[in-house]
Amino acid sequence: MRVSFKLKFLFLTLVMLAVCFCGFSTKNISASADSTPVSEHGRLSVKGSQIVDKNGNAFQLVGMSTHGLAWYPEAVSEQTMKTLRDDWNCNAFRLAMYTEEYGGYTTSSENKNAMINRIDNGVNIAKKLGMYVIIDWHILNDNNPQTHKSEAIDFFKKMSAKYKGCANVIYEICNEPHWVSWASDIKPYCVDVIKAIRNNDPNGIIICGSNTWSQDIHEVLQNPITGYKNIAYSLHFYANTHTQWLRDRLADCLDRGLCVVVTEFGTCDASGNGGFNKAETDSWMTLLQNRKVGLFNWSLSNKSETASAILPGVNLSAIKPGESQLTQSGKLIRSWTRRLGRRTGQVTISYANTTNNAVRIVTSRSDADGYKVWISASKSFPSGSTRLAKTYSNSQTTVRFDNLANRGGTYYVKVQGYKGYTENGKRLYVYSTPVVKTIKLAPAIAANKLKSASTTNNSVKLNIQKNNSADGYKVWICADKSFKEGASRLIRTSSNSAVNFSFAGLTRPGKSYYIKVQTYKWHNNGIRNQAVYSNPVIKKITLSPKVANNKISSAYVTGNSADISIVRNTSADGYKVWICADKSFKEGASRLIRTSSNSAVNFSFAGLTRPGKSYYIKVQTYKWHNNGITTQAVYSTPVVKTINLAPVIAENKVSSLSVNGNSVNIKILRNSSADGYKVWICADKSFKEGTARLIRTSSNSELSFSFENLAYSDHTYYIKLQTYKWHNNGITTQAVYSEPIITTVKTDPSDVYEPAA
Ligand code: IDC
């Protein structure tokens, strides 16, 4: 059993692999087809110094910041953002909406409306692509956030009312305050804006700026905003201006529990132009990678300045995958985002099937190099008692754990997709967010038993044992042991009380079939509702042979009896013959004679009560047959015939007798409905053949009978008279007789013998 099951599984796996390799390419599967950063990670939140995803796992935001939405709105296009997502591995982008500079939000009501439209457009694209998006209130010239506080509150009220349910959106409420005080300017501003947002949106992450162009996060640490959850702080750096001292500050603040996001950084001077510095940028990126700090590079524009990622003249709304349209800064940033944002696509358990000691898991398919599936009886997956199965291609999504110790018990299964890459000669892996599910092994279902079977030459009736805890049974019949679909027939019940199964119309009389019985029960394994089966019980069943019809060969009836003779069938084990006044042959109303040998072919029914009337005779030949389960009788098709009992023939009478020596002359009365008469004479009452003499007429008008030269003189002779009539009893034409009338006559003594003249 075990071996064949394993072989079957191996075979299935090979077939599946073959299908995968022949049917379609396993390459070029975009994770985006099924899952997106937001569909995988859901609503983000702040946990200590870390941004975490919906599962509580550390999550690093990786993306680009737009330049000012007023300058370069065309960068916010679906095509460009899709390139960032799928080629750059960005999971987020930032919408920088200047407040004062060049067409900024506060500069006119026209500009304000234009900005709101561009933010909405950006959020819609983020939603469509499943990317996170920062709505950035980009103060800069307006160094003190208090300057436009009421506009900021109004703006964020609108945004939070609109996007409160949207997991994509992150609010950044003051880009870069400077020359002000954290405690008395920035913090109070932030608290007021936070209040406004929280009135609508209780959960969205809010990022606050700090003094000195968002570098003074250490001041925040002394005096953080309290009473609100999901608050983070921004740190901005430009790699050629802000170096190790600012990295040390970041590391220190993180160590002390401040949640920091680098919502803006450049690879160059703080001016945004000149001083491209790869080495410092790499040092920063390494720190951010190690600490999983979110990062947004300035900027997604084609302006001719060092910070721009895109070459001048390139159409910003249609950035293509690859490096060809990128500046040196863009190339460096892309090389980092491709590493940091690398993902496998979310993997989960899409199907599970259990037995009482094994489970087969099918994971969803993603852009992974393979899948790892752990199983453990403990949710903590302790290394000693956890088993791991790994696949090596993204199309190989099935793993199986056999021989689990806790039969019918509960297990935990953890699933992750993985993808390998090489960095600095080292092989590294990125994993999808682990998904843990509870799996309940199937209960054991007791095997069922075939209790009895009865066959005909083209049908089988089965009776199985009832299993009160089952949800139903499956019973198959097949001419061979394969039970292949198409070649086998199946009856499935949906209740445990249906225990009788009939297969009719089978085509091989006298031949063997196989019956498979399984009991099943519905079982929720944690992933789906599945049927659990007992071990199959397979039995061979042999259809009955055809038993030839029998024939009634002759019948003889009287007015109250019927004698039936049938043709002998030498291969039979006996016969059953019924008689009944009607065709029902109901028990009680019919009489049955059963023989137990094929040589008893004569059947007599006496004491019938309806002379001259019809009865029905049914004849069946039977044979004992062991069908594999039960020994049963097999019958021929019944043959039913009508039989007519004899009518009553009136007795006749001798009207005169005359004796002449040793001769007797008899006259009888005529019976006009008879077909003739029989008259015997005998020296004794025996009327034995040989000793009796008989005269038979064949018409009812011959009424005179002479017996001459009787052997004994002076002797009392017996005369028997019977009237007869031809009668078709349904099977045979026979004579029917009246009751015999016996009279006596005495021959003359020899001395009074008068010889004939
Ligand atoms: C710069 C742009 C530049 C634009 C200028 C407007 O790169 O094209 O003319 O703003 O004032 C920041 C700011 C960001 C700056 C950037 C570079 O947040 O708006 O963009 N920078 O100076 N802080 C530090 C550097």
Confidence of residue 753 (pLDDT cuts 50, 70, 90): low
Q: Which amino acid is at 714?
A: D
Q: Is 39 within a domain?
A: no
Query: Residue 11: its pLDDT value, please?
Result: 45
382 alpha carbon – ligand 1 mean position (Å):
51
Confidence of residue 430 (pLDDT cuts 50, 70, 90): confident
305 lines ligand 1 (CB under 6 A): yes
pLDDT in tens, 383-426: 999 999 999 999 999 999 999 999 999 999 999 999 998 878 98
At which of 420, 440, 460 does a domain end?
A: 440
Do 164 and 115 belong together in one domain?
yes
**Which of 72, 98, 140 most suits a substitution to test ligand 1, by most atoms within 8 Å of the C-beta?**
140
Do 360 and 220 belong together in one domain?
no
pLDDT in tens, 297-318: 999 999 999 999 999 999 999 9
- The torsion defined by the Cα of 99, 101, 104 and 107, in degrees rounded to 10, comes to 100
Task: Show Cβ contacts of residue 545 under 8 Å, excluding neighbours closer than 6 positions.
Answer: 457, 509, 510, 623, 625, 634
Atom in ligand 1 nearest the alpha carbon of residue 307: 7
At which of 542, 564, 594 does a domain end?
A: 542
Peptide linkage before 596 cis (omega within 30 of 0): no
At which of 518, 542, 566 does a domain end?
A: 542
Do 391 and 470 belong together in one domain?
no
Do 169 and 248 belong together in one domain?
yes
113 alpha carbon – ligand 1 mean position (Å):
23
Question: Do β-strands 62-68 and 92-98 pair in parallel, antiparallel, or remain unpaired?
Answer: parallel
Query: Residue 4: its pLDDT value, please?
Result: 46
Do 307 and 365 belong together in one domain?
no
Q: Is 487 within a domain?
A: yes
**Three-state SS letters, 50-108:** EEECCCCCECCCEEEEEEECCCCHHHCCHHHHHHHHHCCCCCEEEEEEECCCCCCCCCC
Q: Is 34 within a domain?
A: no
Mean of the per-residue pLDDT values for the chain?
A: 93
User: Would you say residue 599 has pLDDT above 80?
Assistant: yes
**Which of 234, 298, 302, 316 most suits a substitution to test ligand 1, by most atoms within 8 Å of the C-beta?**
298
307 lines ligand 1 (CB under 6 A): yes
User: Would you say residue 169 has pLDDT above 80?
Assistant: yes
Do 150 and 290 belong together in one domain?
yes
Query: Residue 382: its pLDDT value, please?
Result: 97
The mean pLDDT of 262-285, rounded to a whole number, is 98
pLDDT in tens, 439-454: 999 999 999 889 999 9
Phi, psi for residue 180 in degrees, rounded to 5: -130, -170
Which residues are designated catalytic? 176, 264
Confidence of residue 345 (pLDDT cuts 50, 70, 90): confident
Q: Is 23 within a domain?
A: no
Do 579 and 700 belong together in one domain?
no
For 535, the domain range is: 449-542
For atom 25 of ligand 1, the residue with the nearest CA is: 270
User: The pTM is what?
Assistant: 0.63
Q: What is the CATH number of the domain that holds 536?
A: 2.60.40.10
Query: Residue 387: its pLDDT value, please?
Result: 98
For atom 20 of ligand 1, the residue with the nearest CA is: 272
**Taking Cα atoms as reference points, which of 96, 169, 171, 181 lies closest to residue 139?**
96
The span from the CA of 254 to the CA of 233, in Å, is: 11
For atom 10 of ligand 1, the residue with the nearest CA is: 272
Query: Residue 657: its pLDDT value, please?
Result: 94
**Taking Cα atoms as reference points, which of 332, 727, 743 lies closest to residue 562?**
727
Contact predicate 91/53, CB 8 Å: no
271 alpha carbon – ligand 1 mean position (Å):
6
The span from the CA of 222 to the CA of 249, in Å, is: 13
CB atoms within 10 A of CB 378: 11
**Taking Cα atoms as reference points, which of 58, 332, 65 lies closest to residue 176?**
65
Percent of the chain with pLDDT over 70: 95
The span from the CA of 564 to the CA of 557, in Å, is: 9
Q: Which residue has the higher pLDDT, 449 or 156?
A: 156
Q: Is 754 within a domain?
A: no
pLDDT in tens, 685-740: 999 999 999 999 999 999 999 999 999 999 999 999 999 999 999 999 999 999 99
The span from the CA of 409 to the CA of 525, in Å, is: 10
Query: Residue 208: its pLDDT value, please?
Result: 98
238 lines ligand 1 (CB under 6 A): yes
Do 631 and 658 belong together in one domain?
no
272 alpha carbon – ligand 1 mean position (Å):
6
Query: Residue 432: its pLDDT value, please?
Result: 87
241 lines ligand 1 (CB under 6 A): no
Query: Residue 754: its pLDDT value, please?
Result: 58
276 alpha carbon – ligand 1 mean position (Å):
15
Do 79 and 177 belong together in one domain?
yes
User: Would you say residue 266 has pLDDT above 80?
Assistant: yes
140 lines ligand 1 (CB under 6 A): yes
User: Would you say residue 21 has pLDDT above 60?
Assistant: no
pLDDT in tens, 71-108: 999 999 999 999 999 999 999 999 999 999 999 999 99
pLDDT in tens, 558-584: 999 999 999 999 999 999 999 999 999
Q: Is 30 within a domain?
A: no
175 lines ligand 1 (CB under 6 A): yes
270 lines ligand 1 (CB under 6 A): yes
Q: Is 666 within a domain?
A: yes
Backbone angle region of 322, left / alpha / beta, with phi > 0 → left and psi within -120 to 50 → alpha: left
The mean pLDDT of 232-241, rounded to a whole number, is 98
Q: Is 31 within a domain?
A: no
Task: Show Cβ contacts of residue 690 under 8 Å, excluding neighbours closer than 6 positions.
Answer: none
Contact predicate 431/344, CB 8 Å: yes
- The DSSP string of 172-221 is E--S---SS-IIIIIHHHHHHHHHHHHHH-SSS-EEE--HHHHT-HHHHH
pLDDT in tens, 732-744: 999 999 999 999 9
How does DSSP classify residue 715? -
Do 458 and 488 belong together in one domain?
yes
Confidence of residue 5 (pLDDT cuts 50, 70, 90): very low
**Which of 264, 296, 303, 306 most suits a substitution to test ligand 1, by most atoms within 8 Å of the C-beta?**
264
Query: Residue 27: its pLDDT value, please?
Result: 34
Q: Which amino acid is at 606?
A: A
For atom 19 of ligand 1, the residue with the nearest CA is: 140
How does DSSP classify residue 427? E
Do 476 and 424 belong together in one domain?
no
Do 420 and 476 belong together in one domain?
no
Question: Do β-strands 500-503 and 488-492 pair in parallel, antiparallel, or remain unpaired?
Answer: unpaired
Torsion sign, CA atoms 698, 700, 706, 710: positive
User: Would you say residue 31 has pLDDT above 60?
Assistant: no
Report the number of distinct structural domains present in the chain: 5
451 lines ligand 1 (CB under 6 A): no
Query: Residue 1: its pLDDT value, please?
Result: 37
pLDDT in tens, 479-518: 999 999 999 999 999 999 999 999 999 999 999 999 999 9
